[in-house]
Amino acid sequence: MKERLMNRIGWYGVFVVGVICGLNACQEGLEPDEEVVVYENDFSGENPQEIRNGRLRSFDGTSVLGNYNNEEIAVQVDNLPSHKMLKVTVDLLLHDSWDGNAGPSGGPDIWYLNVDDQPLVNATFSNQPCESTWCLSQSYPDPYGRHNDPKTAALETELPGLCQYADSLGWTTKYSISKIIRHKGDQVTVVCGDKTVQKHLNSSQICDESWSLSNIKVSLVE
Ligand SMILES: [Ca+2]
Ligand SMILES: [Ca+2]
């Protein structure tokens, strides 16, 4: 009896929604140009429990997520409303002596961004000087395998280093990386990580080259 009543309420609910949608032209998804932020963290607050391998430190007077060397972080966002496209933006800080495409003892130094196991960035980065006689190129903004000058497409290039070149300007480079992808489903996982190479070290590898995030944002577009 109870089950039959629930069934009747359920079908009544479907009928009501159907009538409302018929009158108001119900749509799945968002309006064009609409952007709904479903997750954002600038790391100015508490230690982010929702981030796997998340930890905070200070850099250049602000709190950042980091720093990392040959490590991954991941954030999973649940209960996403209906959508077709998803936008991920990370503000990335690359500290100290990233060597870009150099090899085999100094590189390649790769940083990557995956969304639901789909690779969106897999590129080398270089903080090294570039002169006619000596230039350690990087692939970014292209994928690993290409050659661009160090710090190409960077947002800021004159920040101080963190460890090996602490307090020397020009040894942290900031990038704002934004990617839009087709996406369905009510859950998304964003992964950031690095695969860096540094042999014959006098100091620790994380002091030689590392990365942090100063912001991460996930939004739905369309
Ligand atoms: Ca290095
Ligand atoms: Ca290296």
Whether residue 101 sits in one domain with residue 12: no
Both 23 and 37 in a single domain? Answer: no
pLDDT at residue 103, rounded to an integer: 84
Predicted local distance difference test score (pLDDT) of residue 128: 95
Pick 201 or 7 by higher pLDDT.
201
Task: Report the separation in Å between the CA atom of 60 and the middle of ligand 2, taken as the mean of its atom positions.
Answer: 23
Give 105 Cα–ligand 1 centroid separation in angstroms.
Answer: 9
Instruction: Give residue 97 CA to ligand 2 midpoint distance, Å.
Output: 7
**Higher confidence at residue 117 or residue 20?**
117
For residue 136, the CA-to-ligand 1 centroid distance in Å is: 11
Report every protein residue that has its C-beta within 5 angstroms of ion ligand 2: 99, 106-107, 109, 198
Q: How far is the CA of 208 from the centre of ligand 1 (A)?
A: 5
What pLDDT does 32 receive? 66
Asked if 1 and 59 sit in the same domain, the reply is no
Strands (E), 27-184: 35-41, 51-52, 56-59, 62-68, 72-77, 85-96, 110-115, 118-124, 156-160, 169-182
What pLDDT is recorded for position 19? 41
**What confidence tens digit (pLDDT) does each residue in 1-13 have?**
444 444 444 444 4
Residues 24, 49 within the same domain: no
Same domain? For 125 and 46 the reply is yes
Residue 56 clears pLDDT 80, i.e. is over it: yes
Q: What is d(CA 81, CA 128) in angstroms, rounded to the nearest whole number?
A: 43
Nearest ligand, CA 128: 1
Whether residue 57 is found in the same domain as residue 125: yes
Give the bridge partners for 62, in sequence order.
Answer: 59
Tell me what the mean pLDDT of segment 14-37 comes to: 54
The Å distance, Cα 203 to ligand 1 centre, comes to 11
